[in-house]
Amino acid sequence: MATTFTPQRLVVLSDGTWQTPENVTPTNILKLAQAIRPVAESDGLRQTVFYEAGVGSGDGEYEKIVGGGMGVGIDLIIQQLYSFLAWNYNEGDEIYMFGFSRGAFTVRSLAGLINHAGLVRRSELQFIKEAYDLYREKVPYDSEEANAFRNSHGRQVPIKLLACFDTVGALGLPFENPATKDFNERYRFHDTTLSVLIENAIHILSIDEENKNFFPTMMNAHPEVKNQLTQLYFPGAHGGVGGGSKETEALSDSTLQFLVGEMRQRGLGLDFFDDALPIGDPTAVIPHAPPSALWKLIGAISGRRIREIHNIDELHLPSVKARYKACPEWRPPSLKAFDAHLKG
């Protein structure tokens, strides 16, 4: 007699650079992790959470600089999240992925890994490294080697939701020359088009961030998946959309509310304690806080690059218009082309 399993929701969350539960101000990723009900009230499904702190969040300045500044350690994090899913997934389960900054890179890479190699079974965890090598070494998806691996070991499993705050795609060293080219090339995105396995995707982007090393990697919807992607720009710099900064928490709380609202509008069943989800304000006055010495160093090395917004439909107009009206001093250069419309 075949064993039957009650479906569950498996939720993986990967935080931004240097972000941990011990930080004074939690990111939106940590707030989401803490707000998820263990059992959904709506349908009684168990909701199992795996939260991963950001790269560079260990002890010591060396790890902060090497892990946070260069993204070292991200290979292990991706494999740990993949291992969690391989251990726990049964047919019919729902998979949710959330990430901020390099954590967004992490979960997008995780989704790419599952598409490329499939998800190995609990009885075949010894193949995780081989699966990851297929993906990281960019073995072509339709190659004989990749097809053979998927047919033998990899299950093609759907991903109910991939949700990201301001994906950072620049891993490796924040400069390029012949000595660093190969290192950096290894950590560039394979493909920004979402796989057909992803049923829903939400990407929340920063209007104000100007650090070149934090320039976002956009998502592109798969042509065969209807209404797959919502991708919008919101007021705030990197931490103003993803959280982790007390000064900009009102902004990041408003993007968190948008994310949860968009999930509900899409009919997704992941259930939260509503009182654990704060309500933000996109018009909040942001006090000036000088950057730390480490942030100054990273900014000086990476340089400046304005966000490139080509169409007004890329903006979350309710929050952008509200802030434009309430804060006359808020005129980001990336919005210059839309000035007349936003003032109207």
Tell whether 323 is covered by a domain. no
Counting DSSP H helices and E strands in the chain, the numbers are: 13, 6
Q: Is residue 2 part of a domain?
A: no
- List helix spans (H) across 69-192: 69-70, 74-88, 102-117, 128-136, 144-152, 181-186
The Cα 153–Cα 145 span in angstroms is 12
Which residue reads 């991963």 in tokens? Answer: 52
The amino acid at residue 93 is: D
pLDDT for 64: 46
pLDDT in tens, 145-203: 999 999 999 999 999 999 999 998 755 444 444 545 565 566 666 678 999 999 999 99
Tens of pLDDT, residue by residue over 210-223, are 988 889 999 999 99
Name the residue among 198, 238, 195, 200 with its Cα closest to residue 216.
238
Residue 340 covered by a domain: no
Residues 162, 97: contact at Cβ < 8 Å? yes
- 326 pLDDT exceeds 70? yes
4, part of any domain: no
Look up the domain containing 150 and give its range. Answer: 9-316
> Does pTM surpass 0.85?
yes
Question: What pLDDT shows up at residue 24?
Answer: 77
Q: For residue 5, what are the contacts with CB-CB under 8 A and spacing of at least 6?
A: 90, 91, 92, 93
Does the structure show a pLDDT above 70 at 296?
A: no
Whole-number pLDDT of residue 71: 46
Residue owning tokens 């759907």: 158
HSE (CB half, 13 Å, CA atoms) of 266? 22
* Count of domains observed in the chain: 1
Question: Could you tell me what percent of the chain has a pLDDT over 70?
Answer: 83
Let me know: does 56 contact 68? Beta carbons within 8 Å: yes
The whole-angstrom separation of Cα 56 and Cα 69 is 8
Assign residue 210 the CATH number of its domain.
3.40.50.1820
In a domain, 334, yes or no: no
Mean pLDDT of the chain: 88
Q: Kindly state the greatest CA–CA separation across the chain.
A: 69
> Does residue 321 fall inside a structural domain?
no
Burial, 131: exposed, middle or buried (Cβ in 10 Å; 0-12, 13-18, 19+)? buried
The reply to whether 333 falls in a domain is: no
pLDDT per residue as tens digits for the range 45-66: 999 999 999 765 445 544 444 4
Which DSSP symbol is given to 68?
I
Which value, in Å, is the radius of gyration of the alpha carbons in the chain? 20
In a domain, 3, yes or no: no
Average pLDDT of span 76-84: 96
Distance CA 276, CA 296 (A): 33
